Structure 1
Amino acid sequence: MEGPPMDLGLLLALDALLTEGSVTKAAERMNLSPPAMSRTLARIREAVGDPILVRAGRGMVPTPRAEAMRERVRSLVAEAQTLLRPDHVDLPALERRFTVRSGSAGFLAAPLLAELRARAPRVALRFVGEGSETVDALRDNHIDLDIGVIGPMGPEVRVQTLYRERFVGVVRAGHPLLAGPVTAERFAACGHAGASRRGKERGPVDEALAALGLERRVDLVTPDVPAALSAAVQSDLVATVPQGAARHAMALGMPVTFFALPVETPLVAVAQAWHPRQDGDPAHRFLRETVLAVARRLSAEPGPPAA
């Protein structure tokens, strides 16, 4: 005997509740009032036979049953949204704000927005700073794309290489290092600035110097490349940054000079990452294709075939 028909709206509400961990925030996400969301939560509890969310201090936390359901619920909702989404998009009429996590916002933002708006004049961009490289922000739909040197993010994430480039040294105009050949010894003797979203002080440059019996002193680590370039302009620090960023800084009129590193370092792959739920979204596909075209145009070297 068949049971009562299932209200699929409860699945959407459950996903919102498990993602937000708050009746009030879930209500905002679903465009409902908090009392209406509270009533929906009561219906979900009755249907599932579990409290789903319980009080913990001033907030609410999911029950073990809810935690076990979280990924399955999110996957089902994403699949349903993909099935009901049109396979084309009217770009001139598209109104959407894309959120991108990247440390290259200073160099990528304006060209990317211009390219997007050439075909979709009503779109907007919101860049957020780099932080944790976990997949959570992509999975929870807090960001549309993650752009940068992408670390391990798990098999569920799509990753596409945008281009590969080398790191170069950058110094202010008139820096003493420019008075003679940039040897490994003179390079290592300078104070250095680096950029790392995770605050790392050592990397391939240090390994290459160590192979020559040399060691540099890293005096400043910044969370992104523009901050490292700014430090180089205002001091005698040598910044080590991607060549494309250095070339762009000079094109903007920053009083800097860049040079080939006196040690060999591997090429770095700059990529974009997204959650597979976005694969079937034509607007998101338009964003990815535009990012690929703009990034390769701005890169120091021609990009390789898409990965």
Structure 2
Amino acid sequence: MATPDLNLLVTLDVLLAEGSVAKAAKRLRLSPSAMSRALARLRETTGDPLLVRAGRGLVATPRALQLRERVSQLVQEAEAVLRPAEQPDLGQVMRTFTLRTREGFVENFGARLIARVAEQAPGIRLCFVTKNDKDSTALRDGTVDLETGVVGQLTSPELRTQGLFHDRFIGVVRAGHPLSCGTVTAVGYASGNHIGVSRRAEGRGAIDQALEALGLVRQMCATVAGFATALMLARESDMIASVPERHTANLRADMHCFELPVALAPLTIAMLWHPRLDADPVHRWLRSCLREVCSSQVSLGNLQMDAQRTTR
């Protein structure tokens, strides 16, 4: 059995509503002859004349009257399916979004993001998971809805990305540490005991390369997987932690921070998501919430850092 032409549903809906080939043709912007051919196809498909001559006009057959309401409903439902999604009532949305971030991001931005979401959409739950690699499989298969991090060469080109804020690495030591007094030089920095942060337990990166260009090498006493752990160790020892400034603003309370004495390229922290969620109105709203939270938190971090520089 041949598959019926579903476009005929729209034609039938208009014909039954207008009761006239000429009026239906004008409404659908077709010629009267094209509409007559469409009516002929409808008659052949349904096995019913549908509209028959009565004086100068046309009247619907019993089958046409039976179909009229149903066909109209089907056309309206099809139009709704094909119409761009409208912004839902956020107060009624019940969904869970999984966000994958590096250690420190939740501690710094999580509470404000949760509060921002709950204010408009109390039925939305955020689930934070730790980002241990740059593999985009989780975004692709839908187990992760949104991710934050630095976009690099290993980032899948199929992902959508948008910058959240710029960041830079700074040095952090405990209050009263020898490096908390005076200007920190490259030699003084390199000669200290350092805590490396690496997911691959190697602890060597852009800072080490910048020091090597100056003929210096820093001593790594320990390597940890996240910035929060590095700061915890630095707070309880004479070791030096080198961490992103904005990313760790809430984790460095009562610690001494200083600019690194080496030239490093700034970082752009971005959010990443899969194209299948790009047009989703609730996901789009969640992305806007994350942008606003990061923007306001960065402004607060700037004020805190400026105040700290002023008191030194």
Structure 1 match to 2:93: 94
SS at match of 2:238: coil
Contact in 2 for aligned 1:100/1:143 (Cα 8 Å): yes
Question: In structure 2, do the counterparts of structure 1 residues 220 and 89 end up closer, same or farther at CA, with 3 Å as the change threshold?
Answer: farther
Q: State the partner residue of 1:146.
A: 147
SS of 2:139's partner is helix
**1:266 corresponds to which residue?**
265
**Corresponding residue for 2:162?**
160
SS of match in other structure, 1:187: helix
The CA distance in 1 between the partners of 2:132 and 2:84, in whole Å, is: 31
Structure 1, unaligned stretches of length 5 or more?
Answer: 4-81, 303-307
Superposed displacement of residue 91, structure 1: 1.1
| Cα 1:201/1:126, change in 2 over 3 Å | same
* CA drift at 1:159: 1.0
- Rounded to whole Å, the distance in 1 between the matches of 2:141 and 2:239 is 39
Letter of the 1:125 counterpart? L
Distance change >3 Å, CA 105–CA 265, structure 1 → 2: same
Report the TM-score, using the length of structure 2 for normalisation: 0.66
State the TM-score, normalizing by the size of structure 1: 0.67
Q: Structure 1 residues 246 and 108, CA, compared in 2 at 3 Å: closer, same or farther?
A: closer
**3-state SS of the aligned residue for 1:244?**
coil
**Larger radius of gyration, structure 1 or 2?**
2
Deviation of the 1:189 alpha carbon: 0.7
Gaps of at least 5 residues in structure 2 are 4-80, 304-312
Specify the alignment match of 1:40 in structure 2: none
Aligned position for 1:172: 174
1:228-307 to structure 2, matched below 5 A, reads 228-250=230-252, 254-299=253-298, 300=301
Taking a change above 3 Å as real, the CA distance of residues 199 and 271 of structure 1, as seen in their structure-2 partners, is farther
C-alpha displacement at 1:247, in angstroms? 3.0
Q: What fraction of aligned residue pairs are identical, expressed as a percent? A: 39
- How many residues were matched structurally? 222
Q: How big is each residue's C-alpha offset from its partner over 1:88-113, in whole Å with a ceiling of 9 and x where there is no partner?
A: 12111122221110011111211110
- Determine which of 219, 224, 227 is the counterpart of 1:225: 227
Residue type matched to 1:242 in 2? P
What is the SS of the residue equivalent to 1:108?
Answer: helix
Provide, for residues 208-228 of structure 1, a one-character-per-residue CA deviation record: whole Å limited to 9, x for no partner: 111111110222222222111
Distance 1:190 1:258, change over 3 A: same
CA RMSD for the aligned pairs?
Answer: 2.3
Change over 3 Å in CA distance of 1:186–1:157 after alignment to 2: same
- Alpha-carbon displacement from aligned partner over 1:248-270 (angstroms, at most 9, x marks no partner): 224xxx33111111111110110
Moved over 4 A (4+): 82-85
- After superposition, residues 1-307 of structure 1 pair within 5 angstroms as 2=2, 86-103=85-102, 104-151=105-152, 152-250=154-252, 254-299=253-298, 300=301
Distance 1:193 1:84, change over 3 A: farther
Aligned counterparts of 2:198 and 2:82: Cα–Cα separation in 1: 39
Contact kept? 2:108, 2:249, Cα under 8 Å: no
Call closer, same or farther: CA 1:249–1:132 in 2, change over 3 Å.
Answer: closer
Deviation at 1:2, TM superposition (A): 4.2
Q: Give me the whole-angstrom Cα distance separating, in 1, the residues matched to 2:135 and 2:186.
A: 36
SS of structure 2 residue aligned to 1:290: helix
